[in-house]
Structure 1
Amino acid sequence: MKHIDISQALNNQIPIVDVRSEGEFAKGHIPQAHNIPLMNNEERKLVGIEYRKQGSQSALNLGYKLVGPKFAKIKKKLKDISHDNKLAIHCWRGGKRSEISCQLAEEMQLEVQCIQGGYRSYRRWCRETTQKQRKFYVLSGATGSGKTQLLYLLEQQGLQVLDLEKLAHHKGSVFGGLGNPPQPLQEMFENRLAQKLNTFKNEPIFVENESRMIGKLFIPECIFTQLKSHNVLYIELPREIRQKRIRKEYAHFAKQDIYACAQKLQKRLGGLRLQNIKRSLELGNYDWIDILLDYYDRSYAHHKQKYNQRIVNKFCGDSPRQIYGKIINWLPQIAHS
């Protein structure tokens, strides 16, 4: 059995097996890991109770009694997941569960690597990776300016892009969950964020300006602070273009879903505006978009004043693609900044 650290495990091109319980795995895990629990949720609970009552040896004996009958199935699963007879294994902290699982893998003639420190060391790696200083260029602009499309176009060009909304499965506003899969748990969001950051070189990273929260998830403080202190590229599209973009992006959703989202803004919109939104949806016109644009434009102006970010350039145009061309033409200046 070979012991490796978490950095080696993430760089190796071999399967990673997480032998923690399904409940631990669901809360948070290495994104590319496979879950083969040595003990399931109930078994882990029973062993924990035994440990507190009778001590470690008694808990170990109970653990073997519970999982021993499953060893043959676990070995088969480890063999099936291995690649070229190789895999890496971890539990919470690189303890007994990893040790037993690695022994089972070796009995199947697999070349197994045990990840030192387990998932706990991975979470430490995530925090350290996230806290590194990076050179962000922050795309900022009013709602409907096409910032997400710009990120896509820049990434297609081969530039480094951090799409926080994609990682969060949410577009940021109260309407941001429409059409998106359920959001991950906070821990998984942080894990995926760290691994994305780890792929970047020491070059500019383009990211969209965000509030502290994206849906129910919060941006780690170290990243949020950097976004608010880094270079801003201000994007400006005419209001009528932004209105059309929002119509295309959201108007096809069920009216009751749109209104349910708008209700979350009741205290800020006020009863009259909310009623006007409801009436507009019922009549089938798009006045509700103008009401919401008024609200979000005021909110954006307040946000802009609050953080006073440094705007390094302003790009105006009639479409995100037009603005993308202007940004590409401007890029050579970054090398001299």
Structure 2
Amino acid sequence: MQVLNTIDFLASPGVLLDVRSPGEYEQGHIPGAVSFPLFTNEERAQVGTCYKQEGRDAAVELGFQLAGPKFAEFIATAKQLAPNRQVRLHCWRGGMRSEAVAWVLRMAGFQGVTLKGGYKAFRNWALRTFEQPKPIVILGGMTGTGKTDVLLALREQGAQVLDLEAIASHRGSSYGSLGLPPQPTNEQFENEIAVQWASFHADSPIWIEAESKRIGTCRIPESLFQQMDRAEVLEIVRPRSERLALLVGVYGTADREALVTATERIRKRLGGLRTQQAVDLIRQGQLSEGFGIVLEYYDKTYTYDLERREVVIHPIEVAGLSADRAAVKLLEALRELQSKPIFVG
């Protein structure tokens, strides 16, 4: 099989098979890759120990003893995953594991490519990708203004959108994980962003929601965050009543005690008395009133973050507008701003 660099490998056709161990795959993998392990976690550890204690030849022999009986299963599974027998393979460093699986599949009539330098090369490429400067427009707005829905509407209307909260599986607040799947590892978070970032065109703005450096347990890559920090902000503005209604729409079906736990996490910042008042209201089912207290903290945090950025902020009034109509207004506002030489987004 042909050996390709990362960019050519990603652009090639065929099912992407990650032949590393399940544990390595779970820590981080190329987006879209299918776990196709040559060794289990335990077998990989055995081979590694053998290599250190007895040398390469003994480790290779042990590897074939462990993997050999699985070859027929590898071929059968690969046929299901790639009926056209076109595959892409990689291991950690483009070494013996991908070579072994490539040999087996080639004997079974498969064609494809392997990744030069393996997953390690992909990771190096991914981290360098964030250093590529591209035009960013930050979508700002206080908690409850519906920024996520507006981002989705912008994407539907053809705009380039990097939805960091969707990738992180977290809404970026104390309540951010409610109703969402578990967060990815930080490594996988970076991988997903890198592939999307590389796909964006540099001649068109990329919309990104205003975020702090951390989204739950995920950290925005520093070089990307620095670009976000320098970008101008289009801030959607809604009246408080609409914001509270949108928050109830998002969290209204959440477990009450989960909401209470999330509220307790900001007790030190909100204050003991106000936190208790918010908790009591939430337990009584008065979510709008309870969230109204919580907004006292989030509004201050948001305002502080925007002031810290020291960039131009363009307020866009979207009161009464749906996400689709708000997106249209934002795109119109951006076109108008771009016509002015002072706009740097």
Runs of 4+ with deviation above 6 angstroms: none
Counterpart in the other structure of 2:299? 297
Task: Assess, with a 3 A threshold, how the Cα gap between structure 1 residues 103 and 280 changes in structure 2: closer, same or farther.
Answer: same
What aligned pairs does 1:29-178 form with structure 2 within 5 A after superposition? 29-178=29-178
**Could you say which residue in structure 2 is the equivalent of 1:232?**
233
Q: Report what 1:332 is aligned to.
A: 335
Shift in alpha-carbon separation, 1:328–1:307, aligned structure 2, 3 A: closer
Is the aligned partner of 1:195 residue 2:195?
yes
What is the CA distance between 1:140 and its match in structure 2? 0.9
Instruction: Give the 5 Å matches for 1:165-314.
Output: 165-202=165-202, 203-285=204-286, 286-311=288-313, 313-314=314-315
Which amino acid in 2 is paired with 1:75? I
- Give the equivalent residue in structure 2 for 1:317: 318
Superposed CA RMSD? 1.5
- Cα offsets for 1:262-291 (capped at 9, x unmatched): 111121122211211122123322321111
Question: Is the 8 Å Cα contact of residues 151 and 327 (structure 2) preserved in structure 1?
Answer: no
CA distance in 1, matches of 2:113, 2:18: 12
Q: Which runs of 5+ in 2 are unaligned?
A: none
Q: Give the C-alpha shift of residue 305 in structure 1.
A: 2.0
Unaligned runs of 5+ in 1: none
Conserved 8 A contact 1:15-1:83: no
3-state SS of 1:121 partner? helix
Structure 1 residue 212: deviation in Å? 0.8
User: 1:334, CA displacement in angstroms?
Assistant: 5.1
SS in 2 for 1:233: strand
Q: 1:298 Cα deviation (Å)?
A: 1.2
| Equivalent residue, structure 1, for 2:11 | 11
Residues 150 and 320 in structure 1, CA contact (< 8 A), matched pair in contact too: no
| Aligned-partner residue type, residue 331 of structure 2 | I
Confirm or deny: 8 A CA contact 2:270 2:296 kept in the other structure.
no
Please give the secondary structure, in 2, of the residue aligned with 1:87: strand
What's the TM-score, normalizing by structure 1? 0.95
**C-alpha separation between the residues in 2 aligned to 1:127 and 1:176?**
26
CA distance in 2, matches of 1:57, 1:291: 67
The separation in 2 between residues aligned to 1:299 and 1:332, in whole angstroms, is 30
Q: Partners in 1 of 2:84 and 2:285 — Cα distance? A: 59
Task: Give the number of equivalent residue pairs.
Answer: 336
Scaled by the length of structure 2, what TM-score is found?
0.93
Per-residue CA deviations over 1:19-63 (Å, capped at 9, x if unaligned) read 111111111111211111111111111111111111111111111
Superposed displacement of residue 190, structure 1: 0.7
User: Secondary structure, in 3 states, of the residue corresponding to 2:139?
Assistant: strand
